[in-house]
Amino acid sequence: MSLSQSKVTDNTHEMSFHELFSQTTQIKIPLFQREYVWTEKQFNRMVEEIDVIINGEDTNRFLGAIIAVRRHANPAEPQPYEIVDGQQRLSTLYLFVLAAAYIAARNKHDDYARGIINTNLIIDWWQSGTNTKLVPSFADRNQFIQAYQQLINTGNLSDWLGTKVKLPEKSGNEKGRYISQFNRIKSFLQKRYNENGIGHLQDIITTAQTKLTFVFILLKDPATATTVFEGLNDPGIPIGIGDLVRNEVFSKISDNADYAHTIHRDVWIPFREKLGEHFDKYFFPYAIIREPNINNADLFRGLRKIWGNTSNPENIIDTLEEYSTPYLAIATGKYPNIYTKAIKAILDLLVKSKSPTSIFPFVMKLLKEYEAGTVSEQDTIECLEVLEAFLVRRAITGIEPTGLLAVFRSAWHNMNGKPSKDALKEVILKRNTIDWPDDNRFITAIKTRNLYSSHICTYALLEYDKSIGSDIPENDCWIEHVMPQQRRKWETVISAEDHQNLLNTWGNLIPLTSKMNCDLSDSEFTIKKTEFESHSLFSSARRLGSTYAEWNKVTILERSNVIADWAIKRWPK
């Protein structure tokens, strides 16, 4: 079987393993990419593809797209391509050729073994560094070296290949799926060789080299990796921005394994673990602080611009980590000791009210400057209070947070870096498209809007409860409809129209423990009133029970007025 190219598509970038690996290029898996994970299942599927072609049932098979990024290299060095997607497929094909060289050498077919080694496995003229045409991630290098040592020590290859190949430094586990797959392929090829001879072995490898094709997509800019990947693959398994950042940072030291390991262990991993599940979410608000006009589509490009020509990965990671503490404060409620009790208290309110992420860049910058001592505690607290009042009024009135990013991405700049309560209000009010409800509109919303279905409902009820007094069992808070959702037992008390209009309004809602909420359900008010007043852990429920002798349209609206009078003072404009 010849090495002629066989294609499935009309795409000019469709190529085979042989075409890619016979060039003076080096295919690199990013240093900290996940390990090789293919098992016997994927091996069997690839063997089936090969056999279909060898048996004449088909001429070729298409393996999909391989996505790569061209990395910088000196003219005298091999051109490195870093794989974004395709690690498993290319690694498996490489292991097929590596195992074939082993079987050929073991059975004294030295010329064939040396031929495929020189053509597809190593860059024989490059002796100043690792010269294997595939360089796996750190996780697989120990097993990769084991596979090569088996080849070097086979037949008559030792003296020749032992001095010719330059392997990467050891790293990763000694046992794993990489070496298991190599041994599996070896056993398969040895069995086929025993049954059919060298000609059949050559047919298998030639098929793997030339008849299993893929479209090789070489990205001009690593920033497009996520978009391209999601366009070609399952959108449910995206490349995270954190993965792109990590690969870019460590590509700068890919030839220095010890240093890369040290930086990864001592700097990158602590940074990654500090942010936890928020890792990927952190980079967008961080980037906005540094580049206010950035958008999600250009996020990675913007991050690269931020660290500029810095080649030291430690410095890059230090730059990226700069706003992680204030981010965690507004995103999760984890505060450093430097924050005063008053600042922690208002941040708690913003976190519990589920503030939109559009405010994060401004809050992160504000807290960072407070940490540095350039913004006072009073200005910090007052700005955060303005934000809470603004956001809660909008949420209760039913205004979506759409468009807020346009305000807060540039808020710091528009205040000339001098934040204050009045300056922040001015920035918000200058935006004609951003609605900040006045008292009349806010009061109307409290009386008439469906608060129950809003994300702000529990927060609003508990804030009102706190204003009355006593501690709140926040971990066991259920929302109780005083006039129940089922009108059956209340038909003589309230009309169907009034029930529909008032059921989910704030005046008819109180917090209760889950047990009391379930026990009372749609009971009559005389029963509820006694339970609220005597046994509820919530102040607002006890007050309702002690204040109202009956519950109907009039008393619901009366309570709504009381709440509205309190709310316009609690969240002032």
Query: Tens digits of per-residue pLDDT, 100-114?
Result: 999 999 999 999 999
Q: Closest Cα partner for 538 from 569, 566, 510, 499?
A: 510
- Residue 497: the pLDDT is 95
* Consecutive 10-residue averages of pLDDT for the chain (573 residues): 56 85 92 91 95 91 89 84 91 97 96 96 89 95 97 93 92 95 98 96 96 88 56 52 87 79 92 95 96 89 87 92 97 94 97 96 98 97 98 96 93 95 96 94 97 95 90 78 89 92 96 83 86 91 94 96 98 96
Q: How many CB atoms neighbour CB 293 within 10 A?
A: 9
- Residue 236: the pLDDT is 42
Beta strand segments in 269-369, E? none
Residue listed under structure tokens 């294997």: 132
CB environment 477-492: b (16+ within 10 A), e (fewer): beebbbbbeebeebee
Contact 289, 365 (CB under 8 A): yes
- Give the dihedral sign, CA 297/301/306/312: positive
How far is residue 127's CA from residue 548's CA, in Å, rounded to a whole number?
89
Residue listed under structure tokens 């990590």: 246
Contact 247, 313 (CB under 8 A): no
Q: Pairing between strand 25-28 and 134-135?
A: parallel
Cα R_g (the chain), whole angstroms: 33
**∠ at Cα 235 (234, 238), nearest 5°?**
100
Which amino acid makes up residue 191? K
**∠ at Cα 545 (540, 548), nearest 5°?**
110
- Residue 492: the pLDDT is 87
Q: Closest Cα partner for 299 from 313, 316, 286, 315?
A: 286
Q: Pairing between strand 61-70 and 79-85?
A: antiparallel
How far is residue 64's CA from residue 212's CA, in Å, rounded to a whole number?
10
How many whole angstroms from its chain centre is CA 101?
41
- Residue 118: the pLDDT is 95
Residue 137: both structure tokens together:
């991630």
CA dihedral 141, 146, 147, 149 (to 10 degrees): 120
Residue listed under structure tokens 């392997």: 167
Q: What are phi and psi of 10, to 5 degrees?
A: -95, 5
How far is residue 371's CA from residue 364's CA, in Å, rounded to a whole number?
10
Q: Which long-range contacts (CB under 8 A, 24 or more apart) does 391-394 make?
A: 391/350, 391/353, 391/355, 391/356, 391/359, 392/353, 392/456, 392/459, 392/460, 392/571, 393/436, 393/437, 393/442, 393/571, 393/573, 394/435, 394/436, 394/437
Q: Which long-range contacts (CB under 8 A, 24 or more apart) does 59-62 make?
A: 59/6, 59/211, 60/6, 60/7, 60/8, 60/211, 60/212, 60/213, 61/8, 61/211, 61/212, 61/213, 62/8, 62/9, 62/14, 62/213, 62/214
Contact 245, 303 (CB under 8 A): yes
DSSP 522-567: T--HHHHHHHHHHH-S-HHHHHHHHH-S--SHHHHHHHHHHHHHHH
CA dihedral 44, 46, 50, 55 (to 10 degrees): 40
Q: How many CB atoms neighbour CB 229 within 10 A?
A: 21
- In angstroms, the Cα distances linking 262 to 44, 120, 140, 242, 499 are 38, 32, 17, 19, 66
How far is residue 275's CA from residue 232's CA, in Å, rounded to a whole number?
29
- Residue 221: the pLDDT is 65
How far is residue 135's CA from residue 82's CA, in Å, rounded to a whole number?
10
Q: Give kind and range of the element (H or E) at residue 178.
A: helix 177-196
How far is residue 279's CA from residue 347's CA, in Å, rounded to a whole number?
20
Residue 213 in 3-state DSSP?
Answer: strand
How far is residue 324's CA from residue 561's CA, in Å, rounded to a whole number?
43
Q: Pairing between strand 61-70 and 14-16?
A: unpaired
Length of the chain (residues): 573
